[in-house]
Amino acid sequence: MRDTSTHRAGIIGYPLGHSVSPAFQQAAFDALGIAARYEAWETPLERLADRVARLREPAMLGANVTVPYKQDVLALLDDIEPQARRIGAVNTIVNSGGRLTGYNTDSAGFLRALQEEGGFDPRERRALLLGAGGAARAVAFALAQAGAKGIAIANRTPGRAESLAREIASLEVETEVIPWEAEPIGALLWYCHLVVNCTSIGTAHGPTEGLSLVAAELIPRAVLVCDLVYNPPLTPLLKEAQRAGARILGGLPMLIHQGAAAFELWTGRQPPEDVMLAAARKALGVTSS
Protein backbone atom coordinates (compact mmCIF):
# COMPACT_ATOMS: atom_id res chain seq x y z
CA MET A 1 0.00 0.00 0.00
CA ARG A 2 1.14 3.54 -0.70
CA ASP A 3 2.22 5.70 2.23
CA THR A 4 -0.83 7.92 2.69
CA SER A 5 0.12 9.56 5.98
CA THR A 6 -0.96 13.22 6.06
CA HIS A 7 -2.10 12.91 2.45
CA ARG A 8 -5.02 14.62 0.74
CA ALA A 9 -7.56 13.89 -1.96
CA GLY A 10 -10.66 15.72 -3.06
CA ILE A 11 -13.34 16.33 -5.62
CA ILE A 12 -13.04 18.96 -8.35
CA GLY A 13 -16.20 20.46 -9.84
CA TYR A 14 -18.43 23.51 -9.97
CA PRO A 15 -20.72 23.83 -8.13
CA LEU A 16 -20.27 21.25 -5.36
CA GLY A 17 -23.07 22.05 -2.91
CA HIS A 18 -24.78 18.76 -3.76
CA SER A 19 -21.74 16.48 -3.36
CA VAL A 20 -21.55 13.80 -0.67
CA SER A 21 -18.20 12.46 -1.90
CA PRO A 22 -16.32 14.11 1.00
CA ALA A 23 -18.58 12.31 3.48
CA PHE A 24 -18.21 8.79 2.13
CA GLN A 25 -14.60 8.97 0.97
CA GLN A 26 -13.49 10.34 4.35
CA ALA A 27 -15.44 7.57 6.06
CA ALA A 28 -13.51 5.03 3.98
CA PHE A 29 -10.13 6.54 4.89
CA ASP A 30 -11.10 6.58 8.56
CA ALA A 31 -12.44 3.02 8.53
CA LEU A 32 -9.13 1.69 7.22
CA GLY A 33 -7.03 3.88 9.50
CA ILE A 34 -5.51 5.83 6.62
CA ALA A 35 -4.35 9.30 7.64
CA ALA A 36 -5.70 11.22 4.67
CA ARG A 37 -8.18 14.08 4.26
CA TYR A 38 -10.79 14.24 1.50
CA GLU A 39 -11.99 17.73 0.62
CA ALA A 40 -14.41 19.53 -1.70
CA TRP A 41 -12.52 21.74 -4.15
CA GLU A 42 -15.16 23.90 -5.79
CA THR A 43 -13.31 25.31 -8.77
CA PRO A 44 -14.40 27.89 -11.36
CA LEU A 45 -13.13 27.24 -14.88
CA GLU A 46 -10.44 29.92 -14.76
CA ARG A 47 -8.82 28.13 -11.79
CA LEU A 48 -9.11 24.57 -13.12
CA ALA A 49 -5.58 24.31 -14.53
CA ASP A 50 -4.07 25.55 -11.28
CA ARG A 51 -6.17 23.18 -9.19
CA VAL A 52 -5.12 20.18 -11.29
CA ALA A 53 -1.46 21.27 -11.19
CA ARG A 54 -1.57 21.28 -7.39
CA LEU A 55 -2.39 17.56 -7.50
CA ARG A 56 1.28 16.99 -8.36
CA GLU A 57 2.33 17.95 -4.82
CA PRO A 58 3.73 15.04 -2.74
CA ALA A 59 0.86 15.26 -0.24
CA MET A 60 -1.76 14.68 -2.92
CA LEU A 61 -3.17 11.23 -3.66
CA GLY A 62 -5.34 12.53 -6.48
CA ALA A 63 -8.89 13.66 -7.08
CA ASN A 64 -12.34 12.84 -8.31
CA VAL A 65 -13.64 15.02 -11.13
CA THR A 66 -17.30 15.86 -11.57
CA VAL A 67 -19.53 18.22 -13.58
CA PRO A 68 -18.57 20.10 -15.66
CA TYR A 69 -14.89 19.14 -15.99
CA LYS A 70 -14.70 15.45 -16.93
CA GLN A 71 -13.60 16.33 -20.45
CA ASP A 72 -11.76 19.57 -19.70
CA VAL A 73 -9.17 17.86 -17.48
CA LEU A 74 -7.94 15.56 -20.24
CA ALA A 75 -5.56 18.18 -21.61
CA LEU A 76 -4.10 18.83 -18.15
CA LEU A 77 -2.89 15.29 -17.43
CA ASP A 78 0.28 13.38 -18.29
CA ASP A 79 -1.32 10.03 -19.05
CA ILE A 80 -4.82 8.77 -19.79
CA GLU A 81 -5.75 5.16 -19.04
CA PRO A 82 -6.97 3.41 -22.25
CA GLN A 83 -10.65 3.09 -21.25
CA ALA A 84 -10.77 6.73 -20.18
CA ARG A 85 -9.15 7.76 -23.46
CA ARG A 86 -11.66 5.68 -25.40
CA ILE A 87 -14.54 7.26 -23.50
CA GLY A 88 -13.04 10.73 -23.75
CA ALA A 89 -13.75 11.62 -20.13
CA VAL A 90 -11.93 11.35 -16.80
CA ASN A 91 -13.54 11.21 -13.37
CA THR A 92 -10.51 10.07 -11.33
CA ILE A 93 -6.96 11.44 -11.24
CA VAL A 94 -4.08 9.60 -9.56
CA ASN A 95 -0.83 11.31 -8.56
CA SER A 96 2.22 9.03 -8.88
CA GLY A 97 5.38 10.88 -7.97
CA GLY A 98 4.14 14.11 -9.49
CA ARG A 99 2.83 12.46 -12.66
CA LEU A 100 -0.95 12.62 -13.16
CA THR A 101 -2.92 9.78 -14.74
CA GLY A 102 -6.60 10.01 -15.62
CA TYR A 103 -9.03 7.12 -15.22
CA ASN A 104 -12.74 6.62 -15.82
CA THR A 105 -14.42 4.61 -13.07
CA ASP A 106 -17.89 5.90 -14.05
CA SER A 107 -18.29 3.37 -16.84
CA ALA A 108 -17.70 0.26 -14.74
CA GLY A 109 -19.51 1.85 -11.79
CA PHE A 110 -22.63 2.46 -13.87
CA LEU A 111 -22.66 -1.03 -15.36
CA ARG A 112 -22.25 -2.62 -11.96
CA ALA A 113 -25.10 -0.54 -10.50
CA LEU A 114 -27.31 -1.31 -13.49
CA GLN A 115 -26.77 -5.04 -13.17
CA GLU A 116 -26.57 -5.47 -9.39
CA GLU A 117 -28.99 -2.88 -8.01
CA GLY A 118 -31.10 -2.39 -11.15
CA GLY A 119 -31.31 -6.08 -12.07
CA PHE A 120 -30.94 -5.07 -15.72
CA ASP A 121 -28.89 -6.86 -18.39
CA PRO A 122 -28.23 -4.46 -21.28
CA ARG A 123 -27.48 -7.18 -23.83
CA GLU A 124 -29.72 -6.84 -26.89
CA ARG A 125 -31.65 -4.02 -25.17
CA ARG A 126 -32.34 -0.47 -26.37
CA ALA A 127 -31.51 2.60 -24.31
CA LEU A 128 -32.13 6.33 -24.47
CA LEU A 129 -29.53 8.66 -22.96
CA LEU A 130 -30.45 12.18 -21.93
CA GLY A 131 -27.30 14.25 -22.26
CA ALA A 132 -23.99 13.83 -24.08
CA GLY A 133 -21.40 15.10 -21.58
CA GLY A 134 -18.76 13.20 -19.64
CA ALA A 135 -21.20 11.05 -17.67
CA ALA A 136 -23.21 10.21 -20.79
CA ARG A 137 -20.04 9.17 -22.59
CA ALA A 138 -19.19 6.74 -19.79
CA VAL A 139 -22.71 5.29 -19.83
CA ALA A 140 -22.81 5.02 -23.62
CA PHE A 141 -19.54 3.09 -23.79
CA ALA A 142 -20.56 0.87 -20.87
CA LEU A 143 -23.81 -0.08 -22.58
CA ALA A 144 -22.23 -0.57 -25.99
CA GLN A 145 -19.40 -2.70 -24.62
CA ALA A 146 -21.95 -4.77 -22.68
CA GLY A 147 -23.79 -5.66 -25.89
CA ALA A 148 -26.69 -3.20 -26.05
CA LYS A 149 -28.60 -3.43 -29.33
CA GLY A 150 -29.35 0.27 -29.73
CA ILE A 151 -28.54 3.60 -28.06
CA ALA A 152 -30.39 6.84 -28.79
CA ILE A 153 -29.04 10.16 -27.53
CA ALA A 154 -30.83 13.44 -26.90
CA ASN A 155 -28.80 16.52 -26.04
CA ARG A 156 -29.31 20.29 -26.03
CA THR A 157 -26.35 20.63 -28.40
CA PRO A 158 -27.01 18.13 -31.23
CA GLY A 159 -23.38 18.17 -32.39
CA ARG A 160 -22.16 16.61 -29.15
CA ALA A 161 -24.78 13.88 -29.38
CA GLU A 162 -23.86 13.19 -33.01
CA SER A 163 -20.17 12.95 -32.13
CA LEU A 164 -20.83 10.48 -29.33
CA ALA A 165 -23.16 8.44 -31.56
CA ARG A 166 -20.45 8.14 -34.22
CA GLU A 167 -17.89 6.96 -31.67
CA ILE A 168 -20.01 4.22 -30.10
CA ALA A 169 -21.24 3.09 -33.53
CA SER A 170 -17.78 1.58 -33.98
CA LEU A 171 -18.73 -0.88 -31.22
CA GLU A 172 -21.45 -2.42 -33.41
CA VAL A 173 -24.39 -0.80 -31.66
CA GLU A 174 -27.23 0.92 -33.49
CA THR A 175 -27.25 4.66 -32.78
CA GLU A 176 -29.71 7.49 -33.19
CA VAL A 177 -29.75 11.17 -32.26
CA ILE A 178 -33.13 12.70 -31.45
CA PRO A 179 -34.21 16.29 -30.74
CA TRP A 180 -34.01 17.71 -27.22
CA GLU A 181 -37.78 18.05 -26.91
CA ALA A 182 -40.42 16.27 -24.86
CA GLU A 183 -42.42 14.92 -27.79
CA PRO A 184 -39.65 12.98 -29.62
CA ILE A 185 -38.15 11.84 -26.31
CA GLY A 186 -41.53 10.55 -25.16
CA ALA A 187 -42.22 8.83 -28.48
CA LEU A 188 -38.89 7.00 -28.47
CA LEU A 189 -39.33 5.83 -24.87
CA TRP A 190 -41.97 3.37 -26.03
CA TYR A 191 -39.31 1.55 -28.05
CA CYS A 192 -36.69 1.50 -25.27
CA HIS A 193 -36.00 -0.73 -22.30
CA LEU A 194 -33.89 1.80 -20.43
CA VAL A 195 -33.67 5.58 -20.11
CA VAL A 196 -30.76 7.25 -18.31
CA ASN A 197 -30.63 10.88 -17.26
CA CYS A 198 -26.95 11.77 -17.65
CA THR A 199 -27.48 15.50 -17.09
CA SER A 200 -27.47 17.45 -13.83
CA ILE A 201 -31.13 18.43 -14.23
CA GLY A 202 -32.98 17.93 -10.96
CA THR A 203 -29.87 18.19 -8.75
CA ALA A 204 -30.44 19.64 -5.28
CA HIS A 205 -29.05 23.14 -4.65
CA GLY A 206 -28.66 23.73 -8.39
CA PRO A 207 -30.47 25.92 -10.93
CA THR A 208 -32.63 23.01 -12.14
CA GLU A 209 -33.64 21.73 -8.69
CA GLY A 210 -37.19 20.36 -8.80
CA LEU A 211 -37.26 19.93 -12.60
CA SER A 212 -37.80 16.72 -14.55
CA LEU A 213 -36.88 16.13 -18.18
CA VAL A 214 -39.82 13.81 -18.76
CA ALA A 215 -43.36 13.81 -17.36
CA ALA A 216 -45.09 10.67 -16.10
CA GLU A 217 -47.50 10.69 -19.05
CA LEU A 218 -44.59 10.00 -21.41
CA ILE A 219 -43.02 7.12 -19.43
CA PRO A 220 -44.05 3.52 -20.24
CA ARG A 221 -44.42 1.11 -17.34
CA ALA A 222 -42.04 -1.37 -18.96
CA VAL A 223 -39.01 0.95 -19.07
CA LEU A 224 -36.32 1.15 -16.37
CA VAL A 225 -35.75 4.80 -15.51
CA CYS A 226 -32.25 5.55 -14.23
CA ASP A 227 -31.11 8.95 -12.97
CA LEU A 228 -27.40 9.53 -12.37
CA VAL A 229 -28.34 12.44 -10.10
CA TYR A 230 -28.14 11.16 -6.51
CA ASN A 231 -29.01 14.29 -4.54
CA PRO A 232 -31.91 14.21 -3.89
CA PRO A 233 -32.07 10.40 -3.73
CA LEU A 234 -35.56 10.49 -5.26
CA THR A 235 -35.17 12.98 -8.08
CA PRO A 236 -38.04 14.73 -9.89
CA LEU A 237 -37.55 12.33 -12.83
CA LEU A 238 -37.72 9.28 -10.58
CA LYS A 239 -40.89 10.64 -8.98
CA GLU A 240 -42.46 10.96 -12.42
CA ALA A 241 -41.38 7.41 -13.23
CA GLN A 242 -42.95 6.13 -10.04
CA ARG A 243 -46.19 7.91 -10.96
CA ALA A 244 -46.07 6.08 -14.28
CA GLY A 245 -45.54 2.73 -12.53
CA ALA A 246 -42.09 2.21 -14.03
CA ARG A 247 -39.09 0.70 -12.25
CA ILE A 248 -36.44 3.16 -11.08
CA LEU A 249 -32.73 3.23 -10.25
CA GLY A 250 -31.22 6.23 -8.47
CA GLY A 251 -27.69 7.50 -8.82
CA LEU A 252 -26.36 6.50 -5.41
CA PRO A 253 -25.26 2.93 -6.29
CA MET A 254 -23.20 4.18 -9.23
CA LEU A 255 -21.73 6.93 -7.08
CA ILE A 256 -20.51 4.43 -4.50
CA HIS A 257 -19.18 1.93 -7.04
CA GLN A 258 -17.21 4.53 -8.99
CA GLY A 259 -15.97 6.15 -5.76
CA ALA A 260 -14.83 2.80 -4.39
CA ALA A 261 -12.85 2.13 -7.57
CA ALA A 262 -11.20 5.55 -7.26
CA PHE A 263 -10.34 4.88 -3.61
CA GLU A 264 -8.61 1.64 -4.58
CA LEU A 265 -6.60 3.43 -7.28
CA TRP A 266 -5.35 6.01 -4.74
CA THR A 267 -4.56 3.64 -1.90
CA GLY A 268 -4.15 0.12 -3.25
CA ARG A 269 -6.57 -0.98 -0.52
CA GLN A 270 -9.90 -2.77 -0.84
CA PRO A 271 -12.56 -0.09 -0.21
CA PRO A 272 -15.14 -0.63 2.56
CA GLU A 273 -18.20 -0.13 0.37
CA ASP A 274 -20.69 -0.79 3.18
CA VAL A 275 -19.11 2.03 5.20
CA MET A 276 -19.11 4.32 2.17
CA LEU A 277 -22.76 3.65 1.41
CA ALA A 278 -23.82 4.21 5.02
CA ALA A 279 -21.93 7.53 5.14
CA ALA A 280 -23.42 8.69 1.86
CA ARG A 281 -26.94 7.79 2.95
CA LYS A 282 -26.44 9.65 6.23
CA ALA A 283 -25.19 12.72 4.38
CA LEU A 284 -28.25 12.59 2.14
CA GLY A 285 -30.57 12.18 5.11
CA VAL A 286 -31.69 8.72 4.02
CA THR A 287 -32.76 6.73 7.04
CA SER A 288 -34.40 3.68 5.47
CA SER A 289 -33.47 1.27 2.71
282: Cα separation from own chain's centroid: 20
Confirm or reject CATH 1.10.10.10 for domain 107-251, answering yes or no: no
Instruction: Please say whether the beta carbons of 252 and 276 come within 8 A.
Output: no
Please state, rounded to an integer, the average pLDDT across all residues of the chain.
Answer: 95
Instruction: Report pLDDT for 4.
Output: 43
| Arithmetic mean of pLDDT, 265-280 | 98
Q: What would the pLDDT profile of 175-232 be if each residue is shown by its tens digit?
A: 999 999 989 999 999 999 999 999 999 999 889 999 998 999 999 999 999 999 999 9
Instruction: Report pLDDT for 225.
Output: 98
SS3 percent helix, strand, coil of the chain, rounded to 5, is: 40, 20, 40
Instruction: Report pLDDT for 286.
Output: 86
Q: Which residues are catalytic?
A: 70
Q: What would the pLDDT profile of 113-136 be if each residue is shown by its tens digit?
A: 999 999 999 999 999 999 999 999
Architecture of the domain made up of 7-105+253-284 = 3-Layer(aba) Sandwich (3.40)
Domain boundaries, the chain: 7-105+253-284, 107-251
The number of residues in the chain equals 289
| Arithmetic mean of pLDDT, 232-254 | 98
User: What letter represents residue 5's amino acid?
Assistant: S
Same fold, 7-105+253-284 and 107-251: yes
Instruction: Report pLDDT for 3.
Output: 47
| Arithmetic mean of pLDDT, 27-48 | 98
55 Cβ neighbours under 8 A, 6+ residues apart: 62, 63, 93, 95, 100
Distance from C-alpha of 62 to C-alpha of 275, rounded to nearest angstrom: 21
What band does 5 get if pLDDT is binned at 50, 70 and 90? low
